[in-house]
Amino acid sequence: MSHRENRSSRGRPLAAILGCSGRALGGAEKSFFRDADPFGFILFARNCAEPDQVRRLVGALRNCVGRANAPILIDQEGGRVARLGPPRWRRPPPAATFARLARVDEGAAIEAARLNARLIAAELHELGITVNCAPVLDVPQPGSHAVIGDRALGESPAVVALLGRAVCEGLLDGGVLPVIKHIPGHGRALTDSHKALPVVGAARVDLEAVDFAPFKALRDMPWAMTAHVRYETLDRRAPATTSKTVIQRFIRGTIGFDGVLVSDDLSMSALGGGVGERAQAALAAGCDVVLHCNGMRAEMEEVAAYASPLDDAAQARLHRAEAIRAPPKPFERNGALARLRVLMEGMVVP
C-alpha cells in the first residue's frame, strides 16, 4: 500500500510540515501538496513580500489540503531570525535585548517581552499564520557557537524561563501558538547544526540543572521543537531529533513535555542519511511531526514517501494544542508600541 493510499484510507494527514518555493503556488506544487497532504506548512522570507500576497498564499496552501485550520508556521523571533520585516512589517528586536533589560529591571523586561510578542502575534494573526517558532529557550554557555547568541533570552535558566513564559503569553494572547525550542537545549553546542552535528559532552546532572530547566518550567506549552544535537551522556549514537531515548526518557520523561513535538528542519546538515530516512527516524523516535523547510520538491517528495500519517498520540496532542489557541484578546497596537518604546528607551545597562 502506498503512503498516499494509506493516508486516504485512514483519513489522516501526513505527519509533516513542509515549505513552499515562492510567493505563489504553481500548478505542479499544488498537485504535490494535494497528493502528499502534509499536516501543515511553514513560511520563510522567500514566501513573504506584502500582506495581501501572504494572505493569498496562506489560503492557497490550506486549500491544497482542504483544511481551513491547517497550521501555518513561521520563525518570527526577532533580530536576525525574522521572516517578516521592513518596510511592510515591524522588525522585532532580538531576544537578547530583553535579557539585557532584565539585568536592571526584571519586571520591565517581562512586560517588554510580552508586549513585543503580542505585537508579533497581531501581525501574524492578520496574515492567517497560527504558529510561531519562538521563543528560544536555549541557555548559551561560554565558548558555545554563535548560532544561538542573541537569540537567547538570557544566560541563566531562571531568566530564560521567566522571559520565555512572557513571550509565550504574548503570542497566546494574540491567537498564535508558541513553539519552545530547541528541546532539550542547544546552548552548549560548539557547532552550527545547520552545517554539522554538534556533540555535547556535558554531564547529565549539568544538562538537567541548566539546559533542561527552562523547558521543564514551560513544559505546559503547546508545541516544542527538537535540537539536532547529540548528547553523549544521554545517547551516544543519535541526536535528540532521532533518539528514542532522548525523546521518551528525557523530553517526555524528565522534562515532562507532553505537547506537540516537531523536529527541527530535516534539511539541515546535522542529520545523516537522506531526508526521507531522517523523517522516518524522527517519527520512529517519537517526534509527532517532522519539519522540512527549503521548499525543494525532490526532497519534499522523499519526505512524503518515507513519513507516515499522524498517529493517535500525535493527533491527540495536536487537538489539545489547537484547543489552546483562542481568538486574540482586545489589543491597542499603538498604545503597546508606545509602552514598549518607553520600556526599551529607558534601559540603561551597565
Catalytic machinery residues: 194, 264
HEC string for the chain: CCHHHHHHHHCCCEEEEECCCCCCCCHHHHHHHHHHCEEEEEECHHHCCCHHHHHHHHHHHHHHHCCCCCCEEECEEECCEECCCCCCCCCCCCHHHHHHHHHHCHHHHHHHHHHHHHHHHHHHHHHCCCEECCCECCCCCCCCCCCCHHHCCCCCHHHHHHHHHHHHHHHHHCCCEEEEEEECCCCCCCCCCCCCCCEECCCHHHHHHHHHHHHHHCCCCCEEEECCCEECCCCCCCCHHHCHHHHHHHHHHHCCCCCEEEEEECCCCCCCCCHHHHHHHHHHHCCCEEEECCCCHHHHHHHHHHCCECCHHHHHHHHHHHHHCCCCCCCCHHHHHHHHHHHHHCCCCC
Q: Tell me the Cα Rg of the chain.
A: 19
Residues 6 or more apart whose Cβ sits within 8 Å of residue 51: 88, 126, 127
**Residue carrying the nine cell digits 510561531:** 132
